[in-house]
Every structure is written in structure tokens, then in C-alpha cells.
Amino acid sequence: MADFDVVILGAGHNGLTCGAYLAKAGLRVCVLERRALPGGAAVTEELWPGIRVSRASYVPGLIDKIVTDLELVRHGLELHPVDPQNFAPFPSGRHLFTFLSDERCQKELARFSPKDAAAFPKFSGFLRQFAETVEPLLLSPPPELNDLLAYFDGTQFEEVARQILLTSCADLLRETFESEEVQGAFAMNGVLNTSMGPDTIGTSYILAMALGKRGYHYAVGGTGAVSQALAASFGTRGGTLRTNAAVRRIVVSKNHATGVELSDGTQVLAPVVVSNADPKRTFLDLLEPGTLDGDFTHRVSKLRAFGTSLKINLAMQGPLDFRALPGQTIGPQHQALTDVGPSLDYIQQAYDAARWGRLPEQPPLNIFCQTAWDATMAPKGVHTLSIIAKYNPYVLASGNWVDLKEKAVENALNVLESYAPGTGRRILQMEALSPLDLENLIGFTEGNVTHLDQSLNQMLSFRPLLGWAHYRTPVDGLYLCGAGTHPGGGVKGAPGHNAAHVILEDLGHPNPVG
């Protein structure tokens, strides 16, 4: 006798999104989370007395339809668009902002190169068009690469669409802009949340989606507020959420999932099991060996995770005081997402180190100051920073993360100090999470923040595997709903939304839920 209609393992924001849609359709749904709080990589935690931080992710890009369908605003979510979106300080002491408005971006670029400013409207117009075309496809099982290319056939964008899908962001940016600073500032959007370098094919797709949409938001209360609102939406629709409930294995009988077994041995039974864990963990760790055929298991084992993010959470006295735009009263340089990646070569060199298992001496940094938006996150005068120091590889050529974390943090703080002198002596508290720590804390393989790397051969109809990009798995009744499925990582909710719709379709459920 089943306990629920659906059991979801993992209360990441995608597990919660999937659960909320299924509960909205009237199904009895239970979400099981191994940690003490829901949210996965979208959590706010009080790390030090009175100081709350977005412990992992920090700027959600939730899809509007999901916010509306699940009534997240009514459930407490307050999102503010980040504008300026990015702030890029340079070693020369100059800086560049990108804004939501094209005109304001163009003016910024003109300070670096009139030629680049002139090229910007066409470039931006196309990226917007591309992102708008692709956006609806994010909320359905993925198209083939060929079909996506065919969308632009016969339009004025045909050639650029091919460039976007088949080249690297370095190629695209070098072809469009002459200023190294402009190239570097934009390139950070092409490598965000990936372990690829700007020279890797596929990064122009990521760049196009990020710059085309410009969807960075601040969630009041930190990123955990997204998960809290999703959990509330799920709960009001009758969903059951259990925390401190680690799933040890998925129970399968005659190739049909029948429920899950928790680490204390109890079972929760349901004819539909959904995994919010990453594909490697789901297929290689949570199913009994022999459940899947050898070929499938081999393909899963070869999927590339390759985490390279070192997350640093800082509490400091006062905000960063940038050499490129000094000032300790909160200004746009503190509210924007700061990118330290001053040129394509700088970013690529750091990637090259990671590629060979070495720590980058000068990691590119992506920084967000929560308290520049929300003074309630820390006592007066204290500011919190979320920092990702990129290209710190999970797999090290020599040494291990226990011994090398201090060095990796030192490298990141040295870079920060050179852009914002005096930061070091104002640090009050710090937590550093290596890719290994992220694997242990949040539970994703190799600490990859998007569950699988977002290389072109693992995106669209290839995610997670060709032939299995529709959330179903070779085990009947077992589905995936996390970032390792289309359209990938980020706090968007799209994989959870899509998985719920496929499950309802398979159940022949009469109640369409939006």
C-alpha cells in the first residue's frame, strides 16, 4: 500500500518546484531532504550570531511563470532586479557597469572604445532576440540542437545563431569588441556557473542566455527566501516535507520504482519516485547495482561533473572599497554583481590551471554583497559577501583539498585585496567551501554547482544523456527533476516545472496545472 502518490528525494528548489506543481494538481506528494533545512544550494543560513548569508547561490533567476503559477509572492517572495547588473573593476583603476538598459550600457562602453559602443546595440539586440526565442523552450523538454538552429533559418539572425551555438564566447567577443576590458567583463557571463574556459565551445550559448535576459535578482532574505516561498506554496497545497530524511536507496521491483528507503531503514512507498539529486548520484549511488544495464551505467559514469567553484562567505566591517570606484557608503558598485575577470586571457589562464588540476594563482571572482540590498541580514555596519573564486578544481593533480584550501582562499583574497585594498583587515568572519565541501554539504557530485557541467555536449537534448532528456529514466516510475536535466543549473525552477509536467502527462492526469 503506497504512502503517497509521489515521493521526491531532495528538497532543492527544483524538488520543491516539482512537488508544488504536483500537489497543485491534487497528488499526494512527499519531499524528503537529507539536510535540516530545505533549499539545497538555495539556502539562507545564520552562519554567525545575527549574520545571515546566502550560503551557496546568491542571485536567483527564477522564471516568471513559475513565480506566478505557484503564487510565490503571496508566499512571501520579494524579488528585486539587480541594476546595474554587473560591475567590473580593472587593474588600471577603471571600471565598467552593465545595466538593464542598452543605452546606459552603450554609454559605458563608449568610455572604453567608441567602436565597441557602436557595435553594442546590434550585439545586444541579437542576444535579446536569441534569449527570447529560447526562453519558452526552457519550460518544455529540450529541442535537438538542429531544431534550435532551424528556428533562425531564413532570418537575419541565422549566421549569428550558428555562432552562438557553435563557438566559444571568446571567439564571439573578440569578433565583436576590440577592448580587452569589455571582452573580459562580458566573458564572465559566458563562464558563470560553468567549469569551462572562455575558449570552450558552448560558452557563447551561456553568454547569450545571461546577457540576453539580464535576469539577476536579489531575493529579500537571501536565496533561501526562494526555497521558503516554494516550501510554503507546496505546504498550502497539502504537500508533506520531511527534513533530516536522507534517502539510502531507491526501491525498485521488476524495473518499477516503488518508493525509497531512508538511512534509518524505514521505507516511504509511492508508485512515482522523483530524484532531485544529480544524475550520477541517482543512477550510480541510489540504485542497487545491476538495476540498470551496463551500457547506460557506463554512459552515466562518463558524464562530466568537474566542479571548480570555491565559495567564500565573508562578514566584514563596511562594504568593499574598490580602487576603481572608492567609497564606503553603499553605491551601485556594491549592489551590482561584481566580476573580477579583466580580460579573456586572465580568465582562460585560470581555467588552464584547473584543467591540469592546479589552483589558479589569480582566480576570477564573482562577488555579491547581500547587505547592500538588505540591511536586516547583519548587524548595522556589518556587510556580507558571497564570493565564488572560479576554477579551483575538485580533482587536484597533487595534494588534497584539506591541505590546499587555505592556499586557494589566500589566492582569492589576494586578488580581492588588489582590487579593494584594506579588505583583509576588515574581515570579521569567513567560511570557505571548496568543491569537496560543497559535495559534502549540498550533496552534488564533485561539487559541481549545476550537477553536470554545462558543456554543449551535456545541454539541450544531451542533458543528462541523449535519449533520456525528458526527465524519465530506464526505471519505470523513476524521474529526474534537478539541475542535471534540461535546461540546467541556476535558481530557475525550470527542471522541476518540466519534470512535474512530464509526470502528469505519464499519469494521464486530467488536471493541467499551468
Ligand X SMILES: Cc1cc2nc3c(=O)[nH]c(=O)nc-3n(C[C@H](O)[C@H](O)[C@H](O)COP(=O)(O)OP(=O)(O)OC[C@H]3O[C@@H](n4cnc5c(N)ncnc54)[C@H](O)[C@@H]3O)c2cc1C
Q: How far is the CB of 52 from ligand X (least distance, A)?
A: 16
Look at residues 318, 332, 311, 309 and name the one whose alpha carbon lies nearest to residue 384.
Answer: 318
Query: How far apart, in Å, are the Cα atoms of 280 and each of 39, 78, 298?
Result: 20, 34, 11
Among 6, 8, 29, 42, binds ligand X (CB under 6 A): 42
59 binds ligand X (CB under 6 A): yes
Choices 174-182, 276-284, 452-460, 467-475; region in contact with ligand X by CB under 6 A: 276-284
Residue among 276 and 498 whose Cβ is closer to ligand X: 276
Residue among 14 and 362 whose Cβ is closer to ligand X: 14
309 binds ligand X (CB under 6 A): yes
Strand order in the sheet with 267-269: 247-253, 256-262, 267-269
276 binds ligand X (CB under 6 A): yes
The count of C-alpha atoms lying within 13 angstroms of the C-alpha of 148, restricted to the half-sphere facing its C-beta, is 26
CA distance 112 to 182: 7
142 binds ligand X (CB under 6 A): no
Residue among 281 and 358 whose Cβ is closer to ligand X: 281
Among 32, 51, 77, 250, binds ligand X (CB under 6 A): 32
Among 247, 251, 408, 502, binds ligand X (CB under 6 A): 247
Q: In the chain, what is the straight-line distance between the N-terminal and C-terminal CA atoms, in Å? A: 30
Among 6, 7, 8, 11, binds ligand X (CB under 6 A): 11
504 binds ligand X (CB under 6 A): no
210 binds ligand X (CB under 6 A): no
Angle at 456 between CA 453 and CA 462, to 5 degrees: 85
40 binds ligand X (CB under 6 A): yes
Q: Tell me which residues in 408-447 interact with ligand X (CB under 6 A).
A: 438, 442-444
Among 19, 22, 45, 60, binds ligand X (CB under 6 A): 60
H-helix or E-strand spanning residue 159: helix 158-166
344 binds ligand X (CB under 6 A): no
DSSP helix/strand/coil, 471: coil
Sequence-distant (≥ 6) Cβ neighbours of residue 497 within 8 angstroms = 17, 18, 21, 63, 65, 66, 69, 139
14 binds ligand X (CB under 6 A): yes
Query: Which residue's entry shows cell 566584514?
Result: 316
Q: How far is the CB of 66 from ligand X (least distance, A)?
A: 13
Look at residues 405, 409, 385 and name the one whose alpha carbon lies nearest to residue 322.
Answer: 385
- 8-state DSSP, 57: -
277: amino acid identity, one letter: A
CA distance 386 to 367: 6
241 binds ligand X (CB under 6 A): no
With CB under 6 A as the rule, give the number of residues binding ligand X. 40
Residue among 176 and 384 whose Cβ is closer to ligand X: 384
Q: How far is the CB of 355 from ligand X (least distance, A)?
A: 20
The residues binding ligand X (CB under 6 A) are: 9-15, 32-35, 40-42, 56-61, 193, 246-247, 276-277, 281, 309, 311, 388, 438, 442-444, 449-450, 482-483, 489-491
